[in-house]
Amino acid sequence: MNSDALDFFETKLRFETDPTDVAVAMKSEEPGFVVVDTRSDAAWRQGRIPGAIHLPTAEITDRAHEVIPDGHSVVVYCWSPGCNGGAKAAARFASLGYPVREMIGGFEYWVREGFAFETDGGLERRSPDPLTAPLR
């Protein structure tokens, strides 16, 4: 057994999740976490995960206690794997004592995997990208 690799990957999985795991958990009565979109107002209006709370990273320190129910953990996301906004937001939540995970792939992979997303005009869904998810 490679204990260094095992420790690394077990730790990584404690602090990351992915769009499929988030979508499955959100279908349950009590997913056990609050999904937080940490992007700008313009990005939020462009599209977001249904049920997510909008809390831009710059506002987390001042507003987290207002919008995150006591006893809930947090799953954060930003745009994509090419953006570290989710990691910055996760660090901010962790500094405030919240149990937190980052949704790897961000909003981009939520959409690319074919999950519904919300805009100011309602729910939308795109066909899954065959490079990121099996075709249904």
Q: Is 93 helix (H, G, I), strand (E, B) or coil?
A: helix
pTM, two decimals, is 0.93
Answer yes or no: is pLDDT of 4 > 90. Answer: yes
Find the mean pLDDT for residues 26-47: 93
> Residue 34's pLDDT band (boundaries 50, 70, 90)?
very high
Tokens encoding 23: 């979508």
Find the mean pLDDT for residues 75-82: 94
**72 DSSP assignment:** -
Q: What's the confidence (pLDDT) of residue 70?
A: 82
Tokens encoding 64: 């987290």
- Mean pLDDT over the full length of the chain: 94
Q: What's the confidence (pLDDT) of residue 104?
A: 97
Answer yes or no: is pLDDT of 136 > 80. Answer: no
Contact by Cβ (8 Å): 4, 100: no
- Mention the CATH class of domain 32-52+61-136: alpha beta
Q: What backbone torsions phi and psi does residue 80 show, to the nearest 5 degrees?
A: -165, 180
The helix-helix angle for 85-95 and 60-67 (nearest 10°) equals: 70
Tokens encoding 74: 């947090």
pLDDT tens per residue, range 79-135:
998 999 999 999 999 999 999 999 999 999 999 999 999 999 999 999 999 998 777
Q: What's the confidence (pLDDT) of residue 36?
A: 98
